[in-house]
Amino acid sequence: MVSALVMGGSAGAFEIMRSLLGGLPASTPFPILLVLHQLPGARSYLREIFATDCALTIAEGLDKELLLPGTVYVAPPDYHMYVEDDGTLALSEDPPEHHCRPSIDLLFESAARVHGREVVGVLLSGANGDGARGLQAIHLAGGRTIVQDPTSAQAPQMPGAALALFQPDAVLSPARLGEFMAKLAQEGMS
């Protein structure tokens, strides 16, 4: 059973996220939480852009918001986004991690703590090491871990950093990632 899917990326990850979300049905039985590195202070248009070709509900994460299936929660610019023990979101302005706020590591680590073996973590293209430590935390908690194949990444540093730490459950191209996520959503509906 999957109770949440968390996904993170930076340089080169936007179009992949858009494609992956566009391939999922509205009836996806778990929430999806996203961190995509953005410039601090900039207005985010991710919610509007992802909503144009996605059947899922797309929302910018709000503090104390209850996580619902079939909904994608996008971390707002310049806020860390966490999963709380009671199944709600938390936002914070704590100092940046890896020079980034929001931090993929912090989201992934909180999801590992709360959801354990029922979380799936997906780490995509990016130009720094954010997300590697958090994905390892998901792995150690018994959750499933997927890394974009660095040879298919515009910026291979992020998936490469994860592969330097541990062996994830799968290393997939964007096309194979889409197949994996569609299968995951389908399995959860049966």
pLDDT exceeds cutoff 60 at 190: no
Mean pLDDT of 123-140: 97
169 catalytic residue (yes or no): no
pLDDT for 42 equals 65
Mean pLDDT of 18-40: 92
Distance between CA atoms of residues 64 and 173, nearest Å:
35
* From 37, 80, 115, 139, active-site residue: 37
Q: Are 27 and 175 in contact (CB under 8 A)?
A: no
* From 3, 115, 130, 139, active-site residue: 130
Mean pLDDT of 150-159: 97
**Beta strands in 84-172, from DSSP E residues, in sequence order:** 89-92, 119-123, 144-148, 170-172
- Could you please state the CATH topology (level 3) that the domain comprising 4-189 is classified under: Rossmann fold (3.40.50)
pLDDT for 70 equals 96
Mean pLDDT of 111-132: 97
Report the candidate in 79, 9, 16 with the shortest Cα–Cα distance to residue 44.
Answer: 79
pLDDT tens per residue across span 49-102: 777 889 999 999 999 999 999 999 999 989 999 999 998 999 999 999 888 999
The rounded mean pLDDT for the chain is 93
Q: Give the angle subtended at the CA of 92 by the CAs of 89 and 94, to the nearest 5°.
A: 145
Mean pLDDT of 39-58: 78
Q: Are 50 and 17 in contact (CB under 8 A)?
A: yes
Helix or strand holding residue 140 (H, E): helix 132-140
Query: Residue 108 — very low, low, confident or very high, per pLDDT cuts 50/70/90?
Result: very high
149 catalytic residue (yes or no): no
* From 10, 110, 125, 152, active-site residue: 10
pLDDT for 19 equals 94
10 catalytic residue (yes or no): yes
All structural domains of the chain with their residue ranges: 4-189
